[in-house]
A = this chain, B = another copy of it.
Amino acid sequence: MVQNTGRPGYLQIADDLRTQIRGGSLAPGTLLPSTAQLAEQYDASLSVVKMAVGILRNEGLVIGQQGKGVFVRDAEERPAGDEQADLAELRATVRDLSVRLAKVEEQLATSTSRRPGRSSR
C-alpha cells in the first residue's frame, strides 16, 4: 500500500479510508483499526497514519476518542445533504455557547476580583 505515485502517503491513506467510509465498507459506528494496526496494514509509519486520521477527523467523517479509538461517524451527525438545517442548528448552538460563556466569564471576573484564588492554569 501507499505506492509511490507522487501523492503523499498521508493523503493516500486518507483517501482510502474516506472511500471505505463513503462506500459503506466502514459502517457508521465502526471502530477503526488502531493507529499501530493501520500503520502495519498500509506499511506506513505511525506519523503518516496519524496525519491521515487527523484529516478525516477534521472533515468530520470520524471521531477520535482518547483511550478508546477512532469511530466512523453516523451519517446523520455528519454533513449530509441538509446543509441548511445543519447550519441553522450550528448557529443555534453557537448562540447557546455564547450565552453560557458570557455567564461564566462574568462569574469568573467577579469571583477573581472578590476572592483571590485559582488563577494559574
Contact = CB atoms under 8 A, between A and B. Distances in A.
B100 A94 contact: no
B93 A58 contact: no
A73 to B, nearest CB: 10
Interface residues of A, number: 32
B93 A94 contact: yes
A112 interface: yes
Interface in A7-64: 55, 58-60
A67 interface: no
B117 A88 contact: no
Interface of A: 4, 55, 58-60, 79, 83-94, 97-98, 100-101, 104-105, 107-108, 111-112, 116-118, 121
22 contacts: A4-B121, A58-B89, A58-B92, A59-B84, A59-B85, A60-B92, A79-B84, A79-B91, A90-B94, A93-B94, A94-B97, A100-B101, A101-B101, A101-B104, A104-B104, A104-B105, A107-B118, A108-B108, A111-B111, A111-B112, A111-B117, A111-B118
